[in-house]
A and B are shown apart, each in its own frame.
Chain A
């Protein structure tokens, strides 16, 4: 049973992957600018030499053929070589991965703690000023783009207060601002979900029973409500974590951090297709795998599902 479930999920994941790489392929076809020309224009290469390079990169082939070659090399787990750097794309992604993973983990931790905290607070004091305040903070987090909140954070904490370095990376201090900014953005949806989920579980008869026994509401929530409410929250957190593993493009740019996002931006500016595809494939793969893991964890955390699968 469990094997069939995993098998079905894997099949779905393969479909999602295919969709992502195909969209990446098509999107770059629609973007103006010729990669061979971008690479060679300043070198003094002649039109003929640029055309030769275009052929060498396979860009003169008909689209379906280019697409076929692209899928074929992916199927062989070959991400190819960067046109701009002349190095294996897989290697370049591995080099950028630690910086991205570091930010993804810390931002997810900040976002989960803040989100669950705000959500529980709002649920505990539903329809009071505290609820309104917590929900407002969540909505601000949800709706503030990081390029704006990031700059505000740099203004306040780095330039005005001088507490933290504005940009760059290295020690933990460099990680604080980007994690807070990105975590804050994540916390919004988590908080809203936690609040709604708790409200839903609160209506369940067993909670009513617990309350009828006179257990204080904070204990009801922590001991009885949170546990059944958590699995779905976990899925959402995993979704966001998987998304971040693909590179937090804007946050990385604002804080001048390296990472997959920066790599992708550079590749897009230069029409470095192998790198763009590599980052997309990697991001999609990370997303799909993390999700799969979250679903399995949810199944395991939810007794009803666990029994169905067993």
Chain B
């Protein structure tokens, strides 16, 4: 690889030079305006490395985070979530009202917006998109459910549209701010049918130019773009072309970046990130991801974890800092509660719970009657050894974390039976309650995400809770749009979860992007995954 380096650098210089793209509707390659910058305005091409090969990339249908990385710049959304101020700002909707009862949302749309295929954007287009997402024929895997109790969309006039819900749903604006509910050209959707995902058309700062599955995806600058939200720094995109390429093998990502084959690379493994941070030519853009932290769910219905003392012992006996240092090289923060620290509604008081204390853990286990009577190194009670079934999936460092936790617990006289399974199998095991512990994490900017894990009817109710009060709190927090009321409810919920030891939080997710120093302006949205490519540019290679 080392020997290839100079050749690859030369090649990419040559490529950058010979493939000056000319925007389709501009007679000359007019450079973007640079309001306050000192770069030379030459056509810019940026190569962006993605990790997963996306499993289908129609944001209305598919669910991967990966698809949003390019497509957030192809589509605009009605509103945007400002990650710094934590509130919503206008996008394709200039303004909106929410009815008193929380059942209807009226959006006043921006005029003069056109899709990349010249279809005008208007109220009818909004209705078309929401109807498409919610039609059962589309079989949406994510967007449909982000709209919750959506009922219908009413076109009030050319630029006014009203969404009706069957019950109040606080996360609606958060959902509408995400690419999964981005506005697609009705003309293009109807024209391409089931092949639309290869011919996507939005109103965003970049045009979806070319997609070869598993190979590359090319975005080209939209020269007509002039309706971006206030959180974008430029009116039109700075870069002329952005090419996405896919690098599934984590070990190849950093070398590919260092060889100059890509300018930005997502999901750099922690050990490589630690090294790149020292580098002169690259930097690490570390983006904390809001949502549910990586944590072990403890099956509270299966002995011995039905005993809160045993659960608390496990929490005290887990050295999270050691896990974060060993596996994540301190690139991500220790998690103390079910929500990542940068999620709206996060309760900082969770940090006071369960500091690492093996002596206390041992005392708790003794108190619960688990003592090693036969001297085999494993505690036992009534002839039953203290051995727990740990179910692991082979991604997100869960396997490594499981091994480390098992090693820490073996010092406490706890045995672990671990099993490596696929995701569908883990879902089946967990729904049947055949596990003691399963680790999982999920990203999302609205704290309503807790409802997917701690409501008695939830898909991921892996702690096997059946707590009517908790259900009521979660439902109330999903219905009220009053921010303070929501915060208070989520605080109660988080404290209950930690008091009762339903989970063992391990770490907050951090998205580690390796970036060449020739790239400037890379910032990410409130989800933490999706870059605002409009502001990204690159200087010539030195």
Contacts and interface: CB of A to CB of B under 8 A. Distances in A.
Interface in B241-275: 248-249, 252
Interface in A259-275: 262, 266, 269-271
Given A81-B194, A88-B194, A41 B56 contact: no
A34 B424 contact: yes
A271 B421 CA distance: 13
Contacts of B141: 39-40, 43, 84
B452 interface: yes
A42 B142 CA distance: 8
B427 A33 contact: yes
Interface stretch (A44-52, A113-121, A221-229, A242-250): A44-52
Residue of B62, B141, B442 most packed against chain A (CB within 10 A): B141
Interface string B401-445: 000000000000000000000111101110100000000001000
Nearest to A267: B55
A37 B459 contact: yes
Given A33-B427, A44-B146, A53 B139 contact: yes
Contacts of A56: 136, 139
Interface in B134-167: 136, 138-139, 141-142, 144-146, 148
A258 B214 contact: yes
Nearest to A269: B422
Interface string A89-118: 001100110000000000000000000000
A34 B423 contact: no
Contacts of B448: 44
B219 to A, nearest CB: 20
Contacts of B344: none
Contacts of B424: 32-35, 37-38, 269-271
A44 B145 contact: yes
A162 interface: yes
Interface in B1-31: 1-4
Given A44-B452, A83-B139, A33 B195 contact: no
B220 interface: no
A53 B61 CA distance: 13
Contacts of A158: 1
A87 B61 CA distance: 10
Contacts of B449: 44
A50 B197 contact: no
Given A44-B451, A269-B422, A256 B252 contact: yes
A239 to B, nearest CB: 28
Contacts of B55: 84-85, 266, 270
Contacts of A49: 145
Contacts, number: 119
B58 interface: yes
A162 B249 contact: no
A46 B425 CA distance: 19
A42 B442 contact: yes
B452 A42 contact: yes
A166 B213 CA distance: 21
B200 to A, nearest CB: 13
Contact of B252 (A41, A50, A91, A166): A166
Nearest to A50: B459
A43 B139 contact: no
Contacts of B113: none
B357 interface: no
Interface residues of B, number: 45
B2 A162 contact: yes
A58 interface: no
Interface in A9-65: 32-35, 37-47, 49-50, 52-53, 56
Nearest to B2: A162
B56 A87 contact: yes
Given A33-B424, A45-B145, A87 B195 contact: yes
A34 B429 CA distance: 11
B428 A91 contact: no
Contact of A167 (B61, B195, B249, B422): B249
Given A85-B55, A162-B1, A38 B452 contact: no
B457 interface: yes
A100 to B, nearest CB: 12
Interface in A153-177: 158-159, 162, 165-168
A84 B56 contact: yes
A40 B145 contact: yes
Interface string A75-89: 000000111111110
B524 interface: no
A247 to B, nearest CB: 14
Looking at B148, B194, B424, B452, the one whose CB has the most chain A CB atoms below 10 A away is B424
A32 B425 contact: yes
A218 B181 CA distance: 72
B460 interface: yes
B63 interface: yes
Contacts of B249: 167, 256
Contact of B197 (A86, A162, A258, A266): A86
Given A33-B427, A52-B136, A168-B252, A43 B457 contact: no
Contacts of A81: 194
A162 B215 CA distance: 24
Interface in B291-341: none
A222 to B, nearest CB: 42
Given A38-B423, A270-B55, A87 B457 contact: no
Nearest to A166: B252
Contacts of A162: 1-4
Contacts of A38: 423-424, 427
Interface string A204-217: 00000000000000
B292 to A, nearest CB: 10
B422 A85 contact: no
A33 B56 contact: no
Given A40-B459, A44-B146, A86 B452 contact: no
Given A44-B452, A52-B136, A86-B61, 18 more contacts: A32-B428, A33-B423, A34-B424, A34-B427, A41-B459, A41-B460, A43-B145, A44-B146, A44-B449, A45-B144, A81-B194, A87-B194, A88-B194, A95-B213, A96-B214, A165-B4, A166-B252, A256-B252
20 contacts: A32-B424, A32-B425, A33-B427, A34-B424, A38-B423, A39-B141, A42-B63, A43-B141, A44-B148, A44-B449, A84-B141, A85-B197, A86-B62, A88-B195, A95-B214, A162-B1, A162-B4, A166-B252, A258-B214, A271-B424
Interface of A: 32-35, 37-47, 49-50, 52-53, 56, 81-88, 91-92, 95-96, 158-159, 162, 165-168, 256, 258, 262, 266, 269-271
Interface of B: 1-4, 53, 55-56, 58, 61-63, 136, 138-139, 141-142, 144-146, 148, 194-195, 197, 213-215, 248-249, 252, 422-425, 427-429, 431, 442, 448-449, 451-452, 457, 459-460
